[in-house]
């Protein structure tokens, strides 16, 4: 048996408000039990406690979680979540991983194209590490190597979706790219989400085949899933003579076909991924037509180039584009959405000090985020960091909507 404990603390000061944005403590114990024939059981819990004036667990729409993946609210500021509980082992040539686990696909950094098998919590938008914000699902994960091909089959009977902050929460969505907007004076009522509720029929399933061919890492991916973002259908009604917009979130099926690739060319690494989504619902221009949503297949892709220079320098750029394939009256009018990311990182002091800046910029809205960070491994068991998250640009953009949520942060992570 092996056990460990990770303790993380973080304080973020909102630069717009001048007050504490988050002050949290996280305890993450993990136990690994080993059995005969190489089988083992991994269990990991996360206890997160937040200061009263920080972001509370109740600020998240908990209806996105299935009953068996929903974190338990121990107190208004404390939640307990089962992060992992899986049994892993091999029978013949087949490797089984059964239980609550994270499954990660794709090659993109900082933003996601095919890393969509598991949903994520947007409690801190995309500022949390993906390992922390990703919501592990109850999954049957079967892997087998056949010749030079690695096959992975997934069955996910866990209808849990992206956890979105409630209205009024620090990182609540307000961009018209993500949520419908109502004219001034019109009230908006949000219904409970309509969730898929047939345990077997509403399961997600996926297949990935991967190979290494002439220096290229290549995967082909297929996922049949309920898209993780809710479709926000609108109904306009007159209540006591006043117009009211009633929004009912629901979840819709999509087929996802994708591929990823990467290779090294001298100092450079070229990587990319493409995902075709058969049905994606966007917010429409007219809230009275088709319940305010338009449907289209769409293509998401990323092309990244990493340069590993001398003295432990990494410069990495990515172009990410999302292309709505059918002409439809999307509310924002953009069929093609383009985002550029640039990461500059250098390691110092025998890899104990990491300095980096990540910039994400969206062309359509001219908005984005700048994330400088210094992380120092003080001791074997103690890391500390100092960073900032600065949003800029159009307040109607996905990043610009959080223009008031810039912050500086200080944190530590101790592991035993």
Establish if 215 lies at the interface with other proteins (CB under 8 A): yes
Please tell me the distance from the alpha carbon of residue 275 to that of residue 200, in angstroms, as a whole number: 25
Query: Which of 30, 252 has the CB closer to other proteins?
Result: 30
Handedness of CA 210, 305, 300, 174 (dihedral sign): positive
Burial 23-49 (b: 16+ CB within 10 A, else e): bbebebbbeeeeeeeeeebbbbebbbb
Establish if 15 lies at the interface with other proteins (CB under 8 A): no
Establish if 259 lies at the interface with other proteins (CB under 8 A): no
Question: Using an 8 Å Cβ cutoff, are 80 and 117 in contact?
Answer: no
Q: How far is the CB of 389 from other proteins (least distance, A)?
A: 18
Q: How far is the CB of 215 from other proteins (least distance, A)?
A: 6
Please tell me the distance from the alpha carbon of residue 404 to that of residue 138, in angstroms, as a whole number: 37
Query: Which of 131, 240 has the CB closer to other proteins?
Result: 131
Establish if 306 lies at the interface with other proteins (CB under 8 A): yes
Establish if 130 lies at the interface with other proteins (CB under 8 A): yes
Indicate the burial class of 122 (C-beta count within 10 angstroms; 0-12, 13-18, 19 or more): buried
- Copy the structure tokens of residue 7: 């303790």
Rounded to 5 degrees, φ, ψ at 401 are -60, -20
Beta bridge partners of 344: 315, 357
Identify which range of 56-64, 74-82, 210-218, 356-364 contacts other proteins by CB under 8 A.
210-218
- Copy the structure tokens of residue 117: 């098998």
Of 57, 71, 106, 368, which lies in the binding site for other proteins, with binding defined by CB under 8 A?
A: 106
Establish if 384 lies at the interface with other proteins (CB under 8 A): no
Please tell me the distance from the alpha carbon of residue 385 to that of residue 272, in angstroms, as a whole number: 30
Query: Which of 335, 346 has the CB closer to other proteins?
Result: 346
Q: How far is the CB of 67 from other proteins (least distance, A)?
A: 26
Site for other proteins in 107-126 (CB under 8 A): 107, 109
Establish if 355 lies at the interface with other proteins (CB under 8 A): no
- Copy the structure tokens of residue 153: 């089959």
Establish if 150 lies at the interface with other proteins (CB under 8 A): yes
Establish if 207 lies at the interface with other proteins (CB under 8 A): no
Query: Which of 91, 237 has the CB closer to other proteins?
Result: 91
Q: What is the rounded (10 degree) CA torsion for 40, 46, 47, 48?
A: 170
Q: How far is the CB of 244 from other proteins (least distance, A)?
A: 44
- Copy the structure tokens of residue 185: 């004076």
Establish if 7 lies at the interface with other proteins (CB under 8 A): no
Residues forming contacts to other proteins in the complex (CB under 8 A) are: 2, 4-6, 32, 34, 38, 40, 88, 95, 102, 104, 106-107, 109, 129-131, 143, 145, 150, 210, 212, 215, 217, 262-269, 271, 306, 308-312, 350-352, 377, 379-381, 383, 413, 415-416
């Amino acid at each position: 048996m092996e056990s460990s404990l990770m303790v993380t603390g973080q304080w973020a000061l909102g630069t717009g408000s001048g007050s504490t944005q988050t002050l949290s403590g996280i305890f993450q114990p993990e136990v690994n039990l080993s059995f005969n024939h190489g089988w083992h059981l991994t269990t990991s819990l996360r206890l997160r406690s937040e200061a009263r004036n920080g972001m509370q667990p109740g600020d998240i729409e908990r209806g996105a979680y299935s009953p068996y993946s929903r974190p338990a609210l121990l107190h208004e500021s404390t939640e307990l979540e089962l992060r992992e509980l899986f049994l892993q082992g091999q029978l013949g040539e087949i490797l089984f991983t059964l239980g609550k686990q994270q499954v990660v696909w794709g090659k993109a950094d900082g933003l996601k194209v095919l890393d969509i098998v598991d949903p994520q919590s947007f409690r801190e938008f995309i500022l949390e590490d993906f390992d922390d914000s990703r919501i592990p699902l109850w999954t049957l994960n079967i892997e087998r190597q056949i010749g030079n091909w690695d096959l992975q089959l997934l069955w996910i009977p866990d209808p849990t979706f992206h956890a979105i902050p409630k209205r009024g929460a620090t990182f609540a969505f307000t961009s018209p790219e993500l949520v419908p907007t109502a004219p001034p004076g019109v009230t908006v009522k949000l219904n409970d989400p309509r969730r898929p509720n047939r345990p077997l029929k509403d399961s997600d399933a996926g297949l990935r085949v991967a190979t290494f061919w002439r220096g290229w890492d290549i995967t082909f991916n297929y996922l049949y899933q309920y898209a993780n973002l809710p479709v926000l259908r609108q109904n306009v009604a007159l209540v006591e003579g006043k117009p009211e917009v009633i929004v009912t979130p629901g979840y819709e099926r999509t087929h996802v076909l994708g591929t990823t690739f990467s290779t090294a060319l001298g100092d450079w690494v070229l990587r990319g991924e493409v995902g075709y989504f058969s049905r994606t619902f966007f917010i429409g221009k007219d809230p009275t037509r088709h319940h305010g949503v338009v449907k289209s297949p769409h293509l998401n892709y990323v092309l990244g180039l990493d340069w590993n220079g001398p003295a432990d320098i990494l410069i990495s750029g990515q172009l990410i584009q999302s292309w709505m394939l059918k002409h439809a009256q999307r509310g924002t009018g953009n069929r093609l959405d383009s985002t550029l990311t640039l990461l500059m990182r250098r390691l110092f002091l025998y890899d104990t000090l990491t300095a980096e800046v990540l910039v994400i910029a969206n062309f359509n809205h001219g908005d984005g985020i700048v994330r400088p960070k210094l992380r120092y491994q003080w001791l074997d068991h103690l890391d500390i960091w100092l960073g900032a998250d600065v949003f800029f640009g159009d307040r109607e953009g996905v990043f610009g909507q959080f223009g008031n949520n810039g912050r500086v942060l200080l944190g530590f992570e101790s592991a035993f």
